[in-house]
Copies of this chain bind each other. A is one copy, B any other.
Amino acid sequence: MDEKKLSSQVVKRLPRYYRYLSTLLQLGISRISSKDLGNRMGLTSSQVRQDFFCFGGNGLQGYGYDVGFLHQEIHKLLGLQHSHTMIIIGAGSLGHALAKHANFEKSGFKLAGIFDVKPELIGEKIRNVEVQPVDDLPDFLSKNPVDIAVLTVPENCAGEVARLVADLGVKALWNFSPVELMMPEDIIVENTHMIDCLMVLGYNLQEKSLREESLKEKP
How distant is the Cα of A193 from the Cα of B18 in the complex, in angstroms?
13
Q: Is the CB of B15 within 8 A of A180?
A: no
Interface of A is mostly: helix
Is A25 in contact with chain B by the CB < 8 A criterion?
A: no
Stretch at the interface among A27-35, A75-83, A129-137: A75-83
Contacts of A148 in B (CB 8 A): 198, 201, 205
Question: Looking at the complex, which one of B107, B178, B194 makes contact with A98 (CB distance below 8 Å)?
Answer: B194
Please give, as numbers and ranges, the residues of chain B lying within 8 Å of A140 by CB-CB distance: none
A158 within 8 A of B: no
Is the beta-carbon distance between B180 and A201 smaller than 8 angstroms?
no
- Given the interface contacts A93-B97, A103-B178, A196-B15, does A79 sit within 8 Å of B202 by beta carbon? yes
What is the copy number of this chain in the assembly?
2
Contact B190 A197 (CB under 8 A): yes
Chain B residues with CB under 8 Å of A46's CB are none
Mask for A5-34, Cβ within 8 A of B = 1, else 0? 100000110111011100100000000000
A78 lies within 8 A of B203 (CB): yes
Could you say which of B40, B41, B188 contacts A201, with CB atoms under 8 Å apart?
B188
A165 within 8 A of B: no
As a 0/1 sequence over residues 115 to 133 of chain A, the CB contacts with chain B under 8 angstroms (1 = contact) are 0000000000000000000
Per the 8 Å Cβ criterion, residues 99-117 of A in contact with B are 100-101, 103-104, 107-109
- What CA separation (Å) do A19 and B199 show in the bound complex? 11
Once bound together, how far apart are the Cα atoms of A40 and B180, in whole Å? 9
Cα(A172)–Cα(B201), bound, Å: 7
Q: Is the CB of A205 within 8 A of B188?
A: yes
> Are the CB atoms of A200 and B93 closer together than 8 Å?
no
| Chain B residues within 8 Å of A190, by CB | 197, 200-201, 204
Contact partners of A174 in chain B: CB under 8 A: 197-198, 201
Mind listing 17 A-B residue pairs with CB under 8 Å? A15-B199, A19-B196, A20-B180, A41-B180, A79-B206, A80-B199, A93-B96, A96-B97, A98-B194, A104-B194, A107-B198, A108-B202, A188-B205, A190-B200, A190-B201, A192-B192, A192-B197
